[in-house]
Amino acid sequence: MIELINVSKYFGERQVLKSINTCFEDGKVNLIIGRSGSGKTVMMKNLIGLLAPEEGEILYNGRNFNHFTDKEKESIRSEMGMVFQGSALFDSMTIEENVMFPLTMLTSQSWNEKIDRVNFCLKRVDLEGSNNLYPAELSGGMKKRAAIARAIACNPKYLFCDEPNSGLDPKTSLLIDELIFEITHEFNITTVVNTHDINSVITIGETISFIYQGNLEWRGNKDNVLTSDNERLNDFIFAQPLTQRIRDLS
């Protein structure tokens, strides 16, 4: 379990995260939702250690991440997989090399073991036969799936996804959501997803933390997100005419 206790983050004078208290449960898809600029990405960067909070604690199974030694940080990072918003595939490498990269750097597996694992991961994300393609030759959805394959290559305990379906059509978004959900349960991963996609919220949100202007405004799950009486959450969820119409019809 990952817990955030009174986490605050400042950029100069500006407080971007304001005493956040929440937790992300093991073996579940945990969503962080909120409008653009609400602090979701900053929160995720704090979670994975790319930024450090000025106040508060981030606990991985009860241990404070920011008190870890460099060796311990390296060790816990080898248990993390991350899917970035823009996929962040290494563009000088083929898809096979991209997926193999963490295995090469973090394990001492033989070539045959690595290539077996790469092919397994690519098959799992439905990218069989794309081994020798470069990221520039892939569509947006394929890049996201390749990034997921790279993220799961080392059997991570924690999977972080920063807006995994931004810039994708609704159908592909749904496929990516399903893939994240299946992988989380298949490999018992603690998954944290940053999103503002309402489809994701109502289909895969096993726990949901709603961030509003740096505050944790609401916490719940996909079953009660549509029936909440929190005004700010409702403004966010029912912002689009389509969701407003569905609410009116029901």
Partner 1 sequence: MIKNVLEIIGEYFLFLKKVFTKPAKASEFFRKLVDEMNAMGIGSLLIVCIVAVCMGSVITTQTALQIESPWIPKWTLGFTVRTSVVMELCPTIITLLLVGNLGSRITSEIGSMRVTEQIDALEVMGINSASYLILPKIISAVIVIPMLIIIAIFFALIGGYITVLITHVSSPYEYMDGLTSYFRMYDLVYVLTKTTIFAFILSSVSSFFGYRIEGGALELGKANVNGIVVSSFIILVLNLVITSIML
Segment near partner 1 (CB under 8 A), from 5-13, 28-36, 81-89, 170-178? Answer: 81-89
Task: Give residues 133-172 in contact with partner 1 (rule: CB under 8 A).
Answer: 160
- Residue with tokens 């600029």, as numbered in its chain: 37
Q: What is the DSSP track for 30-44?
A: EEEE--TTSSHHHHH
CB neighbourhood size of 173 (10 A): 21
Q: How many residues bind partner 1, per CB under 8 A?
A: 23
Task: Give residues 40-59 in contact with partner 1 (rule: CB under 8 A).
Answer: 48-50
Q: Is the Cβ of residue 153 or residue 237 nearer to partner 1 in the bound state?
A: 153
Rule CB under 8 A: is residue 242 a binding residue for partner 1?
Answer: no
Smallest CA-to-CA distance from 241 within 198, 202, 204 is with: 198
Nearest distance in Å: CB 247, partner 1 = 36
Alpha-carbon distance of 166 to 85, in angstroms, equals 7
Which residues make beta-bridge pairs with 3?
Answer: 23, 59
Q: Is the Cβ of residue 21 or residue 104 nearer to partner 1 in the bound state?
A: 104
Q: What angle do CA 99, 167, 250 make, to 5 degrees?
A: 120
Rule CB under 8 A: is residue 115 a binding residue for partner 1?
Answer: no
Task: Give residues 166-225 in contact with partner 1 (rule: CB under 8 A).
Answer: none
Nearest distance in Å: CB 73, partner 1 = 7
Backbone φ, ψ for residue 137 (5° rounding): -90, 0
* Interaction site with partner 1 (CB under 8 A): 48-50, 73-75, 77-78, 80, 82, 84-86, 88-91, 101-102, 104-106, 160
